[in-house]
Amino acid sequence: MGRLTRDRLSQIAMVAPLGAALLLLTILPLVFAVAVSFTDLRLNRLARWNWAGFDQYLRLASDERWWTSVGHGLVYIVVPTALQMVIGLVLALLLHAGIRAVGVLRPLFILPMVLPPVVVGVLWKAFLLPDLGGLDYFMSLFGLRAPGFLETAEGAMGALIVTLTWEWTPFVMLLLLAGLESLPQDVFDAAHIDGAKSWQVLRYVTLPMLMPTILVVLLFRIIESTKVFPVIFTITGGGPGNATENMDFYAYLTGFRYFDLAYSAALLVAILLMMAVICAPLYRALVRPQLQT
């Protein structure tokens, strides 16, 4: 056997397990989920099911609770992401300006994003509770009482937004800081020699040069911002009522609490399509040009 053939064969052997995993664990399950969405399968009577055509999708179109959950989902994509980007950028710029005392503490800064999301939810719930919560204690020092975060729809939504911002700002900060550190120093020196003021350097040199990094980080945050299930589950459970549930959460409840697997599958397919529509243009515009190496 020639060396070229042997090389080719070993390369194939190295990629084969990945191909098998892709086929059996990603593609096949997705096809299966799509198939389930065209049936009337229920969790409490798995043995008896019929094809149902587009029934589940027709239901979806007129399901008010679904569209409400889509609205909430969009809030979780837009609001926390915007806050994370702004605060993360400010922190990255501050850290980059060389605060040595803080540099040592960097690992502490990034903790929120690596903690188990369930723990993130639990610790914010504990912090926001009226009786043993920390927020109420700190506010009581000023003679105030903490608002009942978890009782009203707006409060519960606010609690989730605060939590998600806290959880993911470190990610933005860390990546933008890495981006800042990789910018060439001489451009800044030149700008200063030309007499540019600090804010001018920031506006006309730093931010434009950092923009590609900012956009990639933004894409990552948008992609990940649908994965808020554990935080919703622990802090509000989707409530009060269904005031804080997003598409994922509603799909989970539909399938595993109301046993309506077929409708749940239809919802999940819709979520997937929605994410593809949001992410595909971003991916094409932002990430691919950077990867042509």
Partner 1 sequence: MIVRRPLPVAVMTAVTVGFLALALVPLLWIVLLSLKTQLQSFDRTQVFIFLPTLDNYRRLLADGTFLHYLLNSVVVAIGTVVVSLAVGAPAAYVVSRSRWREFRSAALAYSLFVRIVPPTVFIIPYFLGARLLGVNDTWWVLIVAYANLNIPLVMWSLWSFFNDVPRELDEAARIDGAGHWQIFLRVILPVAAPGLTATAILTFIMAWNEFLLALVLTSREARTLPVAIVGFLAYEGADWGLVSSGAVLVMAPIVAFTVLIRRYLVQGLVGGALKG
Query: Do the Cβ atoms of 131 and 241 come closer than 8 Å?
Result: no
Residues 123-152 binding partner 1 (CB under 8 A) are 123-127, 131-134, 137-138, 140
Instruction: Identify whether 184 is preceded by a cis peptide bond (ω within 30 of 0).
Output: no
Is 206 one of the binding residues for partner 1 (CB under 8 A)?
Answer: no
Q: Judged by CB under 8 A, which of 78, 86, 94, 187 binds partner 1?
A: 94
Residues 252-271 binding partner 1 (CB under 8 A) are 252, 255-256, 261, 264-265, 268-269, 271
Is 272 one of the binding residues for partner 1 (CB under 8 A)?
Answer: yes
Residue number, 64 or 131, with CB nearest to partner 1: 131
Q: Judged by CB under 8 A, which of 23, 58, 82, 99 binds partner 1?
A: 99
Is 285 one of the binding residues for partner 1 (CB under 8 A)?
Answer: no
Is 234 one of the binding residues for partner 1 (CB under 8 A)?
Answer: yes
Q: Any idea which residue has 């589940």 for tokens? A: 56
Q: Judged by CB under 8 A, which of 79, 205, 223, 243 binds partner 1?
A: 223
Is 281 one of the binding residues for partner 1 (CB under 8 A)?
Answer: no
Is 279 one of the binding residues for partner 1 (CB under 8 A)?
Answer: yes
Q: Any idea which residue has 């120093």 for tokens? A: 185
Is 70 one of the binding residues for partner 1 (CB under 8 A)?
Answer: no
Q: Judged by CB under 8 A, which of 233, 239, 242, 243 binds partner 1?
A: 233
Could you tell me which of 15, 37, 86, 44 has the C-alpha nearest to residue 266? 37
Is 88 one of the binding residues for partner 1 (CB under 8 A)?
Answer: no
Residue number, 51 or 283, with CB nearest to partner 1: 283
CB of 157: closest distance to partner 1 in angstroms?
18
Residues 104-123 binding partner 1 (CB under 8 A) are 105-112, 114-119, 122-123
Residues 164-183 binding partner 1 (CB under 8 A) are 166, 169-171, 174-175, 178-179
